[in-house]
Amino acid sequence: MAISTVLPAGGDAVSTASTQTECVADILARELDATIHQWMGLVEKEPELTRIHLNYEERTGHLPLLLHDVIARLRLDKGSKAPASVAASRHGKLRRKQGYTVSMVVDESRFLQVSIFSTLDRNESRVEFSKLLPDVVIIADEVDAQLKQQVLCFLPGNDSEKEEARR
């Protein structure tokens, strides 16, 4: 953080802090734990999700991998094709075994987007504004692609590994 000194008309020096900007991927990497904590707060307020009793690790253990996939996608060269999220497929299979419904997985995914965007909002003064909207599009697309991988695990007779190989 750079500090500059401003001399107002009265002559007394006042320090002001100017913030260095960061790319969205760096902000999300730095704020990973806070984002997960916020997600958990949203989940804990949703009775449909909390009726399935899971401890903190069982509830959030997938999030670091999903968020790392989002961060990796943000860092891909423009025009590069993103690989399917193996973490999302594993998460979908796990949630199905834990008794989740598709609508519950959709809610978790929605909360992930809300948590990511809230993290960016809290760091608004640090975001490289010129890249923000394109990065928001990438985030939404990646989280939706992850949701698709998760939902495929709930379809009867669907082999999500075959779907991943085709993608």
β-bridge partners, 15: 5
- Residue 106 CA to its chain's centroid (Å): 14
Domain count, the chain: 1
Q: Is residue 92 part of a domain?
A: yes
Q: Is residue 3 part of a domain?
A: no
Q: How far apart are CA 147 and CA 145, in angstroms?
A: 5
Q: Is residue 5 part of a domain?
A: no
Q: Is residue 122 part of a domain?
A: yes
User: Any idea what the CATH number is for the domain that residue 29 is in?
Assistant: 1.10.490
Nearest one of 21, 30, 39 to 118, comparing CA atoms: 39
pLDDT tens per residue across all 167 residues of the chain: 444 444 445 555 444 445 699 999 999 999 999 999 999 999 999 999 999 999 999 999 999 999 999 999 999 998 888 899 999 999 999 999 999 999 999 999 999 999 999 999 999 999 999 999 999 999 999 999 999 999 999 887 765 444 444 44
Q: Is residue 4 part of a domain?
A: no
